[in-house]
């Protein structure tokens, strides 16, 4: 490694981040300490995990701790740990850049919010500012770190002004020291070099960190008898105690997940969540479980109040930490909750787990599989038991993710079905759960109707729903891409079939459909011939009441929305022809039929065939092949009508 001091520019996203932090988090300054302590605790966790397979890494430095050292004269505060440390490359990667995908888009949104003066600490806190929060209080940050197993240390330094330096350094043992040169501060600001200030912040935000957070403090010590000054009567003169310096542990290290619910306060639950999640906001709710018996475990799980910006990025971390009898085993434990519950944060402590368990065997571990099964059930029950108000909040943030469960968790399909909700044609912008839908089905209605698409107002006005609306049958309006997968696996609820309002025959009026089919068979065959490339069938519509035409598919065909989704994701979409449905109750269809019966060669019939198809495409928000021809034909028709 080079001994030289090198200067680097921060990546743009780091500069943006620092700018946002420094300018918007001044009134939340205290949290810098929580963030740095959390990082220190994570670094020790990582080392312990690695040491399970490589015990040499620990050497004789086996007493893990986090140290806080203040220097009021020089106005510095240092947070030091004997965790995993970082190599030079790791420092460059972790501290000079923000590696999370989606960062640029998120920061852009934050900047916009700042311009509109709507940037709240909650918004930026959602991103997890972590290490960079040091710059809220510091005018200069120095990081000296030595990776476990390495013999050289690295020093990183920055004044948060766009650049940082990096050079080789001395450090006698493994771990990381972060030294903050505090800003001058304003009148009345807290002084972070004062013992009581640090004590209070640690107590409030980091009490349950599982390693001792130590600080040199001044204590009163009784002066030994022999050293005391005494008067003639043997009574002490002056002070009987003196100030001495001693190391004190500031946190209680309570593993709150192992405690009984009654012994944990609401505030403690909230603070523990913030420590775990690096989220600044309070969680929406939590669940604290203790299961005894064959599958024994304790768990403290949280549902965040808002979705993290990277919820849909595949490489994002899961939020569950695994412990065994209070000993940290691993974080990011994907095996304990399925993908569709990836928003959950928390701790699971399984006392019977093999301490040397690796990620690879975790998946097959029967105990882990049982815990997972049980946790899923508990979480879904928690969701079901939420008040309507709380559930609305949850659903707005995580409903989309929850629905992914239909695809992957066959076993809990029924539980999930009780949790999904949709706006409907009759719900006036409110969400309706399936059980409420079923409860208010009309007499004679046997199926649950739904329609999928990306636009609520277009769906609600879709011509496909006209016949259903006339019968006052409610239709679920599904606007999430994931809903296409929901309806593929959820084919039934409470004994009622889920039926697409867009595809297949609705069979609302069977007898009438059959007589119309015969009456119009000649014309429909003619139109099919004209539109052969696009249409596989022309038939009397079971969907339409007021409109003239719409497109539909057979019950097993792909929906128009699914086709659109696949196309937009670049997938290969098999060319499927649609069915053109015509409203035989509409006068225009009757008139075209009369024209056809009179003169099958009439050239207008060809134009009308194309026009009918274009009208159907437009009504579902699609693009027609030849808009200028459509324009001309409509123009001709209008002019004929106006000249009559």
Ligand X SMILES: Nc1ncnc2c1ncn2[C@@H]1O[C@H](COP(=O)(O)OP(=O)(O)OP(=O)(O)O)[C@@H](O)[C@H]1O
| Residue pointed to by tokens 């050239």 | 603
Using CA atoms, how far apart are residues 397 and 343, in angstroms rounded to an integer? 10
Confirm or deny that 316 is annotated as ligand binding: no
- Residue 77 or 616 with smaller CB distance to ligand X: 77
Site string for ligand X, 151-190 (x = CB under 6 A): -------------------------x--------------
Could you tell me which stretch among 125-133, 402-410, 480-488, 524-532 binds ligand X (CB under 6 A)? 125-133
Site string for ligand X, 231-270 (x = CB under 6 A): ----------------------------------------
Residue 559 is given by DSSP the state: P
* 5 phi/psi in degrees, rounded to 5: -95, 125
Confirm or deny that 602 is annotated as ligand binding: no
- Residue 132 or 257 with smaller CB distance to ligand X: 132
- Residue 81 or 397 with smaller CB distance to ligand X: 81
- Residue 176 or 425 with smaller CB distance to ligand X: 176
Three-state helix/strand/coil letters over 195-233: HHHHHHHHHHHCCCCCCCEEEEEEEEEECCHHHCCECCC
Q: Any contact of residue 128 with ligand X (CB under 6 A)? A: yes
Q: Any contact of residue 448 with ligand X (CB under 6 A)? A: no
Q: Any contact of residue 304 with ligand X (CB under 6 A)? A: no
Could you tell me which stretch among 84-92, 204-212, 353-361, 484-492 binds ligand X (CB under 6 A)? 84-92
Q: Which of 371, 366, 363 is nearest to 346 (CA)?
A: 371
Confirm or deny that 35 is annotated as ligand binding: yes
Confirm or deny that 101 is annotated as ligand binding: yes
> Distances in Å between the alpha carbon of 116 and those of 14, 119, 280?
21, 8, 21
Q: Any contact of residue 40 with ligand X (CB under 6 A)? A: yes
Q: Any contact of residue 86 with ligand X (CB under 6 A)? A: yes
Confirm or deny that 365 is annotated as ligand binding: no
Among 45, 81, 397, 581, binds ligand X (CB under 6 A): 81
The answer to whether 324 and 355 are in contact (CB under 8 A) is yes
Q: Which of 419, 173, 169, 166 is nearest to 303 (CA)?
A: 419
* 93 phi/psi in degrees, rounded to 5: -75, -40
Q: Any contact of residue 350 with ligand X (CB under 6 A)? A: no
360: Cβ contacts below 8 Å, ≥ 6 apart: none
Give the length of the chain.
644
Could you tell me which stretch among 24-32, 80-88, 158-166, 189-197 binds ligand X (CB under 6 A)? 80-88
Q: Any contact of residue 83 with ligand X (CB under 6 A)? A: yes
Using CA atoms, how far apart are residues 552 and 559, in angstroms rounded to an integer? 8
Q: Which helix (H) or strand (E) holds 330?
A: strand 327-330
Looking at the DSSP bridge assignments, the partners of residue 118 are none
- Residue 108 or 525 with smaller CB distance to ligand X: 108
448: Cβ contacts below 8 Å, ≥ 6 apart: 434, 437, 438, 441, 476, 493, 496, 497, 498, 499
Among 131, 210, 393, 445, binds ligand X (CB under 6 A): 131
> Distances in Å between the alpha carbon of 271 and those of 34, 204, 314?
10, 7, 28
What residue number has its CB nearest to ligand X?
A: 130
- Residue 331 or 390 with smaller CB distance to ligand X: 331
Could you tell me which stretch among 2-10, 102-110, 124-132, 349-357 binds ligand X (CB under 6 A)? 124-132
Given 3-state DSSP classes, what are the helix, strand and coil percentages for the chain, each rounded to the nearest 5? 40, 20, 40
Confirm or deny that 160 is annotated as ligand binding: no
Confirm or deny that 39 is annotated as ligand binding: yes
Q: Any contact of residue 399 with ligand X (CB under 6 A)? A: no
Q: Any contact of residue 281 with ligand X (CB under 6 A)? A: no
Confirm or deny that 100 is annotated as ligand binding: yes
Confirm or deny that 388 is annotated as ligand binding: no
Confirm or deny that 94 is annotated as ligand binding: yes
Q: Which long-range contacts (CB under 8 A, 24 or more apart) does 432-435 make?
A: 432/474, 432/476, 434/493, 434/494, 435/494
Using CA atoms, how far apart are residues 177 and 131, in angstroms rounded to an integer? 12
Q: Any contact of residue 130 with ligand X (CB under 6 A)? A: yes
- Residue 211 or 450 with smaller CB distance to ligand X: 211
> Distances in Å between the alpha carbon of 592 and those of 359, 582, 612?
69, 11, 11
User: Total residues at the site for ligand X (CB under 6 A)?
Assistant: 16
Using CA atoms, how far apart are residues 378 and 344, in angstroms rounded to an integer? 12
- DSSP, collapsed to helix, strand or coil, labels residue 566 as helix
Q: Any contact of residue 39 with ligand X (CB under 6 A)? A: yes
Structure tokens at 358: 């690796």
Chain positions 474 to 503 lying near ligand X, rule: CB under 6 A, are: none
We find the least distance from the C-beta atom of residue 126 to ligand X, in angstroms, to be 10
Could you tell me which stretch among 78-86, 114-122, 378-386, 543-551 binds ligand X (CB under 6 A)? 78-86
Q: What is the dihedral of CA 80, 86, 90, 91, to 10 degrees?
A: 40
Confirm or deny that 118 is annotated as ligand binding: no
We find the least distance from the C-beta atom of residue 86 to ligand X, in angstroms, to be 5
Using CA atoms, how far apart are residues 515 and 63, in angstroms rounded to an integer? 87
- DSSP, collapsed to helix, strand or coil, labels residue 371 as helix
Confirm or deny that 247 is annotated as ligand binding: no
Using CA atoms, how far apart are residues 12 and 349, in angstroms rounded to an integer? 40
Could you tell me which stretch among 128-136, 152-160, 184-192, 228-236 binds ligand X (CB under 6 A)? 128-136
Q: Any contact of residue 376 with ligand X (CB under 6 A)? A: no
Among 43, 68, 179, 468, binds ligand X (CB under 6 A): 43
Q: Any contact of residue 94 with ligand X (CB under 6 A)? A: yes
DSSP annotation string for 4-27: S-EEEEPPHHHHHHHHHHHHH-GG
We find the least distance from the C-beta atom of residue 70 to ligand X, in angstroms, to be 18
Confirm or deny that 86 is annotated as ligand binding: yes
- Residue 282 or 454 with smaller CB distance to ligand X: 282
Among 84, 276, 548, 592, binds ligand X (CB under 6 A): 84
The answer to whether 398 and 480 are in contact (CB under 8 A) is no
Q: Any contact of residue 405 with ligand X (CB under 6 A)? A: no
Q: Any contact of residue 308 with ligand X (CB under 6 A)? A: no
Q: Any contact of residue 278 with ligand X (CB under 6 A)? A: yes
Confirm or deny that 293 is annotated as ligand binding: no
Q: Is 621 left (phi over 0), alpha (psi -120 to 50) or beta?
A: left
We find the least distance from the C-beta atom of residue 128 to ligand X, in angstroms, to be 2
We find the least distance from the C-beta atom of residue 44 to ligand X, in angstroms, to be 8
Could you tell me which stretch among 35-43, 329-337, 340-348, 377-385 binds ligand X (CB under 6 A)? 35-43
Instruction: Please state the residue numbers annotated as binding site for ATP.
Output: 35, 39, 81, 86, 94, 100-102, 126-131, 176, 359
> Residues comprising the binding site?
35, 39, 81, 86, 94, 100-102, 126-131, 176, 359
- Chain residues binding ligand X by CB under 6 A are 39-40, 43, 81, 83-86, 94-95, 128, 130-132, 176, 278
């Amino acid at each position: 490694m080079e001994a030289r001091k090198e200067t680097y520019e921060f990546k743009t996203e780091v500069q943006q981040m620092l700018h946002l932090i420094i300018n918007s988090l001044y009134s939340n300054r205290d949290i810098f300490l929580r963030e740095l302590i959390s990082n220190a605790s994570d670094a020790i966790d990582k080392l312990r995990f690695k040491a399970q397979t490589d015990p040499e890494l620990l050497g004789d430095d086996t007493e893990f701790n986090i140290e806080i050292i203040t220097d009021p004269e020089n106005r510095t505060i240092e947070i030091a740990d004997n965790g995993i440390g970082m190599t030079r490359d790791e420092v460059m990667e972790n501290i000079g850049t923000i590696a999370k995908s989606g960062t640029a888009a998120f920061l852009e949104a934050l900047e916009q919010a700042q311009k509109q003066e709507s940037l709240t600490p909650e918004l930026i806190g959602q991103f997890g500012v972590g290490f960079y929060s040091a710059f809220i209080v510091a005018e200069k940050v120095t990081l000296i770190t030595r990776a476990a197993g390495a013999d050289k240390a690295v020093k990183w330094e920055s004044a948060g002004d766009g650049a940082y330096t990096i050079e080789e350094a001395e450090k006698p043992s493994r771990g990381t020291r972060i030294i903050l040169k505090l800003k001058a501060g304003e009148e009345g600001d807290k002084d972070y070099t004062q013992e009581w200030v640090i004590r209070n912040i640690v107590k409030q935000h980091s009490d349950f960190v599982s390693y001792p957070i130590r600080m040199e403090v001044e204590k009163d010590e009784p002066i030994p008898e022999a050293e005391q000054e005494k008067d003639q009567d043997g009574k002490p003169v002056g002070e009987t105690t003196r100030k001495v310096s001693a190391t004190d542990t500031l946190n209680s290290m309570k593993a709150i997940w192992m405690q009984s619910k009654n012994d944990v306060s609401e505030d403690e639950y909230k603070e523990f969540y913030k420590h775990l999640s690096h989220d600044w906001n309070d969680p929406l709710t939590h669940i604290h479980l203790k299961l005894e018996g064959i599958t024994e475990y304790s768990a403290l799980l949280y549902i965040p109040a808002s979705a993290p910006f990277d919820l849909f990025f595949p490489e994002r971390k899961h939020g569950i930490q695994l412990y065994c009898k209070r000993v940290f085993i691993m974080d990011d434990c994907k095996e304990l909750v399925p993908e569709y519950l990836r928003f959950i944060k928390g701790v699971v402590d399984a006392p019977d787990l093999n301490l040397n368990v690796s990620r690879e065997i975790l998946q097959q571990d029967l105990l882990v599989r049982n815990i997972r099964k049980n946790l899923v059930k508990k979480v879904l029950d928690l969701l079901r038991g939420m008040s309507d108000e709380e559930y609305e909040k949850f659903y707005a943030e995580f409903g989309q993710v929850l629905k992914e469960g239909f695809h992957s968790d066959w076993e809990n399909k029924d539980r999930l079905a009780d949790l999904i909700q949709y706006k409907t044609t009759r719900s006036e912008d409110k969400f309706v759960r399936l059980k409420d839908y079923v409860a208010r089905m009309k007499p004679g209605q046997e199926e649950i109707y739904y329609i999928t698409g990306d636009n609520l107002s277009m769906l609600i006005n879709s011509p496909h729903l006209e016949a259903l609306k006339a019968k006052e049958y409610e239709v679920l309006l599904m606007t999430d891409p994931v809903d296409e997968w929901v309806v593929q696996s959820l084919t039934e609820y409470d004994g009622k079939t889920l039926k697409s309002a867009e595809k297949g025959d609705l069979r609302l009026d069977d007898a009438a459909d059959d007589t119309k089919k015969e009456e119009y068979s000649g014309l429909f065959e003619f139109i099919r011939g004209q539109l052969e490339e696009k249409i596989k069938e022309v038939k009397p519509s079971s969907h339409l009441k007021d409109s003239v035409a719409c497109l539909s598919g057979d019950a097993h065909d792909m929906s128009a929305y699914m086709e659109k989704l696949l196309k937009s994701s670049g997938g290969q979409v098999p060319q499927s022809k649609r069915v053109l449905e015509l409203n035989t109750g509409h006068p225009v269809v009757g008139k075209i039929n009369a024209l056809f019966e009179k003169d099958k060669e009439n050239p207008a019939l060809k134009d009308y065939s194309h026009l009918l198809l274009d009208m159907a495409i437009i009504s579902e928000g699609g693009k027609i092949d030849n808009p200028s021809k459509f324009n001309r034909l409509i123009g001709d028709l209008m002019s004929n009508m106006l000249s009559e």
